[in-house]
Amino acid sequence: MPGAAGCARPVDVARTQEWQAEGRGMNGAFHLLPPSASDAAGRYDTLMLVEFLVTGFVALGVAFMIVYFSVRYRRDSDADRSAAPAGGRKLEIAWIAIPLLLFLCAFAWAAYDYARLYRDPPGAMPVFVVAKQWMWKLEHANGRREIDELHLPLGQPVKLVMTSQDVIHSFYVPAFRIKQDVVPGRYTTISFTPTEAGEFHLFCAEYCGTEHAAMRGRVVVMRPDQFAAWLQQGDAREGMAARGFALYRRYGCSGCHEAQSSVHAPDLHGLLGRTVHLQDGRSLVADEAYVRDSVLLPKKEVVAGYAPIMPSFAGQIAEEDLLAIIEYLRSTGGGDARAGH
């Protein structure tokens, strides 16, 4: 991978051995499934169990009939073959319609659960994830940063906003039953609520280069009061929103987007969660990805009533800076103004 050598991190042998010794989260015992530690995990486990039972029941039924008919109608059996049916329209319709209905139910159920991963629950706490070869960099709204570790409060809905600095990675926490590609050049998000305190594996689930297998960490779910205390520890940094405001001025956003500016540019206060009408007639609800595209690809979605004069900042702004600016915009209020800052 180009540029990989420069930022290569030695494999942490001690930590790897410690993990193997502990079998972290697994206790060495055999488990059919990893621990179930999020609302998504409960939903998926139920779905999987029901699908397993339905398909298992059908498979057993078919196997039983094969054996039964093989014995009953073997060549020299005295079974009555005088009135053999020539066809069975009703039977044929039944074996087409019933499986079709079952599959459609499974599809609808799974699609509903899947869609819930991408709908932020009200009050979701944003956490920002930047992946690179080969580490996870995480930042909380108050500016607390972590590497290869993610601390979360128990029972609080979380929304991860993720991007990559180099290649495609995948954020995978088996205990939460979540796995989401982390893609350079755009944001992906995923929402869930931790339902159990403890430590859980975090893996990269997309082959991303030599040390892909070492690109892992842990998720620590704490009681809300413990989490609040943890969040305040560490090197005192300004919150993301404050840093974002400084960047908002430094990159010159404020020069055009402030109300008193002489340039005719949209007002960004309370933008996140607001419905935006575009020049081409479409409308959308402004989210993190929309802000990102507006900064890097300003011609893509031009707001109705404004000239497309915004310059692109592609290649000039670091991912972390862009996330901070988004946090600043979130802090200015609007429909999505729920994050602490």
CB of 25 to ligand CUA, least distance (A): 20
Those residues whose C-beta lies under 8 Å from the C-beta of residue 202, and which sit 6 or more positions away, are 136, 148, 150, 171, 172, 173, 216, 217, 218, 219
Q: Provide the residue count of the chain.
A: 341
Place of tokens 């007002």: 267
Least distance (Å) between residue 151 CB and ligand CUA: 21
Q: Which range binds ligand CUA by CB under 6 A, 18-26, 39-47, 70-78, 205-213?
A: 205-213
Q: Residue 130, interface with ligand CUA (CB under 6 A)?
A: no
- Which range binds ligand CUA by CB under 6 A, 148-156, 207-215, 291-299, 315-323? 207-215
Residue 153's Cβ-side half-sphere holds a number of Cα atoms within 13 Å equal to 18
Residue with smaller CB distance to ligand CUA, 134 or 192: 134
CB of 180 to ligand CUA, least distance (A): 12
CB of 325 to ligand CUA, least distance (A): 26
CA nearest neighbour of 186 among 205, 158, 161? 161
The single-letter code of the amino acid at 46 is: T
Total residues contacting ligand CUA by CB under 6 A comes to: 8
Asked if residue 169 binds ligand CUA (CB under 6 A), the reply is yes
For strands 149-153 and 216-222, give the pairing: parallel
215 near ligand CUA (CB under 6 A) = yes
Number of Cβ within a 10 Å radius of residue 81: 8
Q: How far apart are CA 130 and CA 128, in angstroms?
A: 7
Q: Does 138 contact ligand CUA by CB under 6 A? A: no
Residue 148 contacts ligand CUA per CB under 6 A: no
- 201 makes contact with ligand CUA (CB under 6 A): no
Least separation in angstroms between residue 204's CB and ligand CUA is 3
Does 127 sit near ligand CUA (CB under 6 A)? no
> How far is Cα 288 from Cα 271, in angstroms, rounded to an integer?
10
> Residue 153's beta-bridge partner residues?
222
Task: Using CB under 6 A, pick the residue from 160, 162, 175, 208 that binds ligand CUA.
Answer: 208
Q: Are 183 and 289 in contact (CB under 8 A)?
A: no
**Site for ligand CUA, rule CB under 6 A:** 134, 169, 204, 206-208, 212, 215
